[in-house]
Amino acid sequence: MRASDLVRLFSTRESGPIDLYDDIIPAIKEAGEFEVYFWKADIDTNILKGRIVEESHFQGDDEIRVVSIDYAASMSNELSRLVCAKELIHVLDPIDQRVTTDEAVNDLISKIILPTEMQSLDDGVSVWGDRYGYLFALAVLFPWQIRELLYPKYASGQYNIDDIASLMELPVEYVQIVMSPLWQRVHHILSA
């Protein structure tokens, strides 16, 4: 399973909010069993909002994958959901796109925090995957079909962005992205 497969899987959901534990984790476990833990951490959100650490250990002959996701304790519940989903989706990253050494982690952080005008196409797959991880998480947490059901009410003024953000338990600034006309093209790319 890839991130785009997960986006397609959730795109037909008609009710939300999408839950990390009840919805996303079981779907990702279809690609392979793992244990997952979420930890609030003292993280400087000017540098990083969350991080994932994957480890394996053996229990007899069985390899057990353990995924720990740290997220900044200072974030709102809505942003924490988005960050945790983004980090969780990294479980689906191909092995060659994962960052596995301290040096590689520091290099990744130094590149993902760069302002847009300083970003380069040469930054590498891991860096760009991390930058676009929020879009994949957003597409999973706010499925296409729910957007289609809410859009007429949004367009008519019956619901505003704050109403929809509250309903989907997501930050307003990200809900604005989903409700924009551009999201159809973005969603199409994410699910390809």
Neighbours of 103 (CB within 10 A): 9
What are the DSSP calls for the chain, one per residue? --HHHHHHHHTT--S-PPPIIIIIHHHHHTT---EEEEEEE---TTT-SEEEEEEEEEETTEEEEEEEEEEETTS-HHHHHHHHHHHHHGGGS-GGG---SHHHHHHHHHHHTS-GGG--GGG-HHHHHHHHHHHHHHHHHS-HHHHHHHHHHHHTTSS-HHHHHHHHT--HHHHHHHHSTTHHHHHHHHT-
Q: What is the pLDDT of residues 54-111, one digit of tens each?
A: 888 888 888 888 999 999 999 999 999 999 999 999 888 755 555 555 565 455 444 4
Which pLDDT does position 171 carry in this prediction? 96
* Residue 36 pLDDT greater than 80, yes or no: yes
Q: What is the pLDDT of residues 40-49, one digit of tens each?
A: 999 988 878 8
Q: What is the pLDDT of residues 113-129, one digit of tens each?
A: 434 544 454 544 444 45
Q: What is the pLDDT of residues 139-157, one digit of tens each?
A: 999 999 999 999 999 999 9
- The whole-number average pLDDT for the span 7-17 is 97
Contacts of 37 (CB under 8 A, 6+ apart): 66, 67, 68, 69
Cβ-based burial of 65 (10 A; exposed 0-12, middle 13-18, buried ≥19): middle
C-alpha torsion angle, residues 20, 24, 29, 35 (rounded to 10) = -10
**Which residue did the predictor score with more confidence, 136 or 101?**
136
* Beta strands across the sheet bearing 35-41: 35-41, 62-72, 50-59
* Residue 6 pLDDT greater than 60, yes or no: yes
Which pLDDT does position 42 carry in this prediction? 96
